[in-house]
Copies of this chain bind each other. A is one copy, B any other.
Amino acid sequence: MLILLDSHSGKPVFRQILEQVRFQVAGGILKPGDELPSTRQLAADLDLNPMTVSKAYAQLEQEGVVERRPGLSLVVRAPRGDELDARRREELARVLGPAASAARQLGLDVDVALEVFRQALARRGGDDGKQ
């Protein structure tokens, strides 16, 4: 599993892990049944304290993205059917929420906002979603 930490992104590390795993699962990069590295393993790789990883993992489990097997490491949970698509929407909505409230505060019309988003979707660019 590949996790890239951007140390000067301002985002807390555990959240970066959280989001990247969530995103990779939603996007199909991590498939149901795939194992996640142990907390200590990932912590060592990223040069972090295991607790930091543990907190991210704990929340992932709580969200149902990942499942705990008895004595073993975490595995990506198999979503049933439409659940995967729902999760993708959810993931997108998460990123879109701030934009929506920004649009409201700017007093922009719904149609205008949608049009701006349509253009953004059409525009192909290297921005990978991390501010």
Give A residues with C-beta under 8 Å from B: 15, 19, 22-23, 25-28, 88-89, 91-93, 95-108, 110, 112-114, 116-123, 125-131
Q: Which B residue sits closest to A118, measured CB to CB?
A: B114
The A interface, classified by DSSP as helix, strand, loop or mixed, is helix
CA distance A2 to B130 in the complex (A): 26
Determine the chain B residues whose CB is within 8 A of the CB of A103 once the complex forms.
92, 121
List the 5 closest pairs (A to B, CB-CB), nearest first.
A26-B107, A98-B129, A100-B120, A95-B99, A88-B106
CA distance A128 to B98 in the complex (A): 6
Shortest distance between the CB of A84 and any CB in chain B (Å)? 10
Contact (Cβ within 8 A) A130 B96: no
Shortest distance between the CB of A111 and any CB in chain B (Å)? 10
Determine the chain B residues whose CB is within 8 A of the CB of A126 once the complex forms.
101
Task: Supply 8 A–B pairs (Cβ within 8 Å), ascending by A.
Answer: A23-B102, A23-B106, A92-B99, A96-B120, A99-B117, A100-B120, A105-B129, A117-B117
